[in-house]
Amino acid sequence: MKSNIIKNLLNKKIFIDSRQVRENSIFVCIKGPKNDGHKFIKLILNRYKKTVIICDKKSKLAKIYKDKSRVHFCNSTVKFLSDLAKIKRLILNKYIFIGITGSSGKTTLKEILYSVLKKYKPSYKSQKSFNNAIGLPYTLINQTNKTKYNIYEIGMNKIGEIKYLSNILKPNIGIITNIGEAHIGNLGSVKNIAKAKSEIINNITKGGYIILNRDCKFFSKLEKISKKNKLKILTFGSNIKSTITYEIIKENILKIKFRKKIIKLKLRETNLNNINNILISILVLNILRLNIKISKKLLSNIKSIRGRGNRIKLNNKKIEIIDDSYNSNQVSLKNSIYQFNKIKTNKKKYLVIGDMLELGKFSEKKHLEVGEYLKLMKFDRIFLVGKHTSKIFFQIKSTFWCKYFNNINNFSKYFKNLLMENSIIMFKASNGVGLNKLLNKKIYKC
């Protein structure tokens, strides 16, 4: 590729979706599992006069365009994106980058930190859930050059992926929200998941910060790796040794202990995920030497994102929905069950649980463990949806009033019968089950 093309790349908008391309931009052809960007070379050449196309030289679809002046070839378009993102990160070196990883809660925390930090200085967040080998570099390349605080989530499906992505991002502040069993089917054990999440620690900038969950059973291991990398370690959780910890002193009143300071917040919603997100936000504000008073009201009024524990009142408030249907794994499901069980209410409590997916050979064992955990709780009715939750149904049917649906379509037909007056209903499932889409259609009407 010509050197003058490389110099101009970062001054243009870059696209990987042919439907979004515009004139005088760059279209990078990515071959994905469902589609191949190289199929759209002809369309882009015909539709635009100044747009440049970057192709993989191994693509058979691209070879016929090798004489076109606007078509350029590289060894790998995925590597091209990552290399360009590394250059962009160097250009933005004077700004602060925050990398968030963990088994759950990454997107919610990213949104909250963005809402908080933009009160102080121009801020940026990675778009949607673009947190993989294509999404993260793609959003980094296209981000503005003028944002002081930049918050990214870092996802993974296998060992080495967080290492690869955090090496591109080079965060000044790293956050590991928790270590759970998401992707255990791919990684084989929670120990391997912890190893994968710890990869971010090695790529935090020299003298940077790591924020760790002190309640996590892998905390000591993560702390040891962090000390080896000479990072500044801050911790959160219910453990009294945490840098920042909390106590719920009465309904919706949170007492936060941060070093020798006491902060009291009257919360709009009280759940463990929101509390941990508040604690992490305060730690980040402290690292950046920002006055918490400016964002205290915002932190008090944090609402859960749709599908991640948000609450909706229906039918003149006689029916309440807790929508935690976006995703599920054993740790997040148990946390949700525990929090739901703790809610003090005169209403009937109904629990809807869908399959936990991506557990591979561990699926039966993990669903049975949830069934045993449910027996410790008190719920009026339990509804189970999906192939894997049949294990839970046979476990608990003598303990609870419960009903089983083998798929989302059968549950959809029953749905209106579920909405009984004077009830509070919690929904929790992996996204692939379809509960999230069903609630969008039945509750949010979209």
Determine the pLDDT at residue 181: 54
283-329 per-position pLDDT tens digit: 999 999 999 999 999 999 887 778 888 888 887 778 999 999 988 88
Architecture of domain 3-75: 3-Layer(aba) Sandwich (3.40)
- pTM for the structure as a whole: 0.80
As a CATH number, domain 310-442 is 3.90.190.20
- Predicted confidence (pLDDT) per residue in 149-208, tens digit: 999 999 887 788 999 999 999 999 999 998 765 545 555 567 777 787 889 999 999 999
CA distance 379 to 377: 7
Contact of 321 with 427, CB cutoff 8 Å:
yes
H/E segment holding residue 319: strand 319-324
List, for residues 123-137, the tens digit of each pLDDT value.
999 987 788 889 999
Q: Please, are residues 446 and 416 in contact by the beta-carbon 8 Å criterion? A: no
- The DSSP line for 385-440 is ESSTTHHHHHHHTTTS-EEEESSHHHHHHHHHHH--SSEEEEEE--GGGSHHHHHH
Closest C-alpha among 113, 157, 112 to residue 131: 157
Mean pLDDT computed over 373-380 = 94
Q: Which CATH number fits domain 82-300: 3.40.1190.10, 2.40.37.10, 3.30.310.160, 1.20.120.350?
A: 3.40.1190.10
Cα–Cα distance for residue pair 33/355, rounded to 1 Å: 24
Quick one: which H or E segment has residue 314?
strand 310-314
Q: Which residue has the higher pLDDT, 187 or 42?
A: 42
Average pLDDT in the chain:
90
Among 70-79, 142-151, 207-216, 264-273, name the one with the lowest average pLDDT: 264-273
Residue 250: the pLDDT is 75
Percent of the chain with pLDDT over 90: 68
Which residues fall within 8 angstroms of residue 8, CB to CB, at 6 or more apart? Answer: none
Report the DSSP beta bridge partners of residue 36: 31
Per-residue pLDDT of 346-359, as tens digits, reads 899 999 999 999 88
Average pLDDT over residues 17-25: 94
pLDDT of residue 7: 57
The domain spans of the chain are 3-75, 82-300, 310-442
| pLDDT > 90? residue 103 | no
At residue 180, the pLDDT reads: 65
